[in-house]
Structure 1
Amino acid sequence: MLSLPQRIVVEITQMPILKNPSLICGFPGSGFVGKLAIDHMIEQLKAVSFANMFSSSFPPQVLIQPNGTTDLMKNTFYYYKGETSDLVLLGGDAQPVTPESEYEMAEEITKICDKLGIKTIYTLAAYITGTFTKLPKVYGTSTLEQIVKEFHNYGVSVMNSGSITGMNGLIIGVGKRKGITGICLLGETSGYVVDAKASKIVLEALVKMLGLQLDLTEISKKAQDTENLVKTIEEQMGHRTTGESLHMPQHDKKLGYIS
């Protein structure tokens, strides 16, 4: 069988000049936890796009835009200029579907980090439990032990086992080898629904760490929609939970894998 080369194409419209920037990534994954979070940040901060990233390892489809046109699947870089430091936000439509292209994309992202002077990467992801939880937690890991020791200041529980799959994990691992500090914040989610509640608690932890002012009104409304959906699912399953969670038997909670 003929093996075609995989390609990553980065189209930069204008490279911004930033002061002390950090990169925040949220890719589509389980519960869309990271994507909902980063999309909310982009909208609320009125971040400006400056580059698109395309991959031949994205799903082979085009997306219909609000104006009725079509476009290839892509991930997009945005920037936001703050009072004391700036942010680069990376979100988009998909993650690559092969390990080779995931590593290649992570390398390309760190190249852009180098051009912009980015020394810290935050990724926003999902901590999958297979359980509907009334009081979900935020878990965290970092490439620096000192940062891990400070998680308790922000209400973040330390991950001390398991793995982080996909781009939300790979980027901080590749960045570590380039001298970039990596932090991953993970919202606890069942993995069965689009979980804005998990996105909201991740954002709450992130803004504390960054000292950032961010309006969470819209994501809070979506989080309430998630709660209503879970309640409906519980009722349809005939469960009236008296504790904190509803367990779904077909998922192994000990996996603790992340996306």
Structure 2
Amino acid sequence: MEILCSHEPALKNPTLIAAWPGMGYLAKISVDYLRRRLDAKKFAEVKFYQNAIIYKDSLAELPSIRHRFFAVPDRDLIICVGDAQPSIPEEAIKLAEKVIDFAKGLNVKRVYTMAAYPSDYPDEPRVYGVFTDISLRDELERHGVEFIEGEGAVNGLNGVLIGVAKSKGIEGVCLMGEIRYANVPQHLSSKAVLERLTSLLGIEIDTTQLEKRAEKIDASIRKSLNEFQDIGEELKEEEKKIRYIS
């Protein structure tokens, strides 16, 4: 596993923002939206191979998964985006260590990741924070981040990365947005997470497109639920007829 760097961007003490696909696609949606809005430029990439092949018409290939690094020099930011997560836990740790070692070489002092927190929230999704140093709590709270009492876990690279960062002397924060559906893109939750993240970074971005996408998906879900409800009512009526005939 090797990181291929095309050039070294003009960065001072950058912050790393990293994301891999997870529940509700929250992390990937958030970071992809952010990098496009900030016009981040790619400067490095690491290719990772899965423990499987793919084939088409019986012709096999070994697929590689891209993990790309983008720079925003005027904001002193590095954005890392992965197309997929390693399927083996040990490989996830190796990749996390590779990313953090690379970040440390660029003088990164803090890492942000994002993850989903399943919840049937009533109105606006809340954003919770998990951090690697208690000194970060007050700062996160000032920017509207809430906290979870008790114990829990953040699975996958979006959690593992900040744990590896801590072991290597780098601050880590995982922002978790409430989601209603694990297998449906959660644009409203991504918007909520991005609002907290950009507040922490001291930057502003327009999140209108995320709102529009959220409204479109919500309308589609409501339509599907209504159709299921109509089918359910029809089945009940048919069942009544059958009982009456018998």
TM-score category, normalised to shorter length:
0.7 to 0.9
- Kindly state the Cα deviation for residue 92 of structure 1 after the two structures are TM-superposed: 2.6
- What is the CA–CA distance in structure 2 between the aligned matches of 1:218 and 1:200, rounded to whole Å? 9
Query: 2 CA distance for matches of 1:135 and 1:233?
Result: 22
User: Given that residues 113 and 175 in structure 2 are in contact (C-alpha distance below 8 angstroms), is that contact kept between their aligned partners in structure 1?
Assistant: yes
Structure 1 vs Structure 2: percent identity of aligned residues?
Answer: 33
User: 2:49 aligns to what?
Assistant: 56
Please state how far the C-alpha of 1:73 moved relative to its aligned partner. 2.5
Is structure 2 residue 143 aligned with structure 1 residue 154?
yes
Question: What residue in structure 2 maps to residue 107 of structure 1?
Answer: 97
Q: Distance in 1 between matches of 2:53 and 2:78?
A: 27
CA change 1:60–1:91 in 2 (3 A) is farther
TM-score (ref. length: structure 2): 0.83
Q: Superposed, which structure 2 residues align to 1:42-81 within 5 Å?
A: 42-57=35-50, 60-61=53-54, 72-81=64-73
Aligned-residue Cα RMSD (Å) equals 2.1
Q: Distance in 1 between matches of 2:4 and 2:140?
A: 36
Change (3 A) 1:159 1:229: farther
Whole-angstrom CA distance in 2 between matches of 1:179 and 1:54: 26
d(CA) in 1 for partners of 2:227 and 2:121?
Answer: 14
Scaled by the length of structure 1, the TM-score of the pair is: 0.79
Match of 1:30 among 23, 31, 34: 23
Q: Distance in 2 between matches of 1:17 and 1:192?
A: 38
Q: Does 1:95 align with 2:85?
A: yes
Secondary structure of 2:185's aligned partner: coil
Aligned pairs for 1:170-181 within 5 A: 170-181=160-171
Partner deviation per Cα, 1:98-126 (whole Å, 9 max, x = no partner): 01100000110011111110010000111
Residue 246 of structure 1 corresponds to none
**Greater helix share, structure number:** 2
Tell me, in whole angstroms, the C-alpha distance in 1 between the residues paired with 2:41 and 2:139: 31
Aligned twin of 1:211? 202
Structure 1: gaps (5+ residues): 1-7, 63-70, 240-259
> Which residue of 1 is the match for residue 134 of structure 2?
145
- Say which of 4, 13, 26 aligns to 2:6: 13
Number of aligned residue pairs: 221
Amino acid at match of 2:69: F
**Range with bigger deviation, 220-229 or 44-53:** 220-229
Contact between 2:6 and 2:44, CA under 8 Å: does it hold in 1?
A: yes
Letter in 1 for 2:143: Y
Q: Distance in 2 between matches of 1:220 and 1:125?
A: 19
The runs of 5 or more residues in structure 2 that have no matched partner are 56-62, 231-246
SS at match of 1:16: coil
The structure whose Rg is larger is 2
How many Å separate the matches in 2 of 1:11 and 1:116?
Answer: 14
In 2, the alpha carbon distance for the partners of 1:174 and 1:200 equals 27
What whole-Å deviation, never above 9, does each CA across 1:106-154 have from its counterpart, x for those lacking one?
A: 110011111110010000111123x364321111111111212333322
Partner Cα distance (1:13, 1:121) in 2: 22
- Among 235, 242, 258, the alignment partner of 2:226 is 235
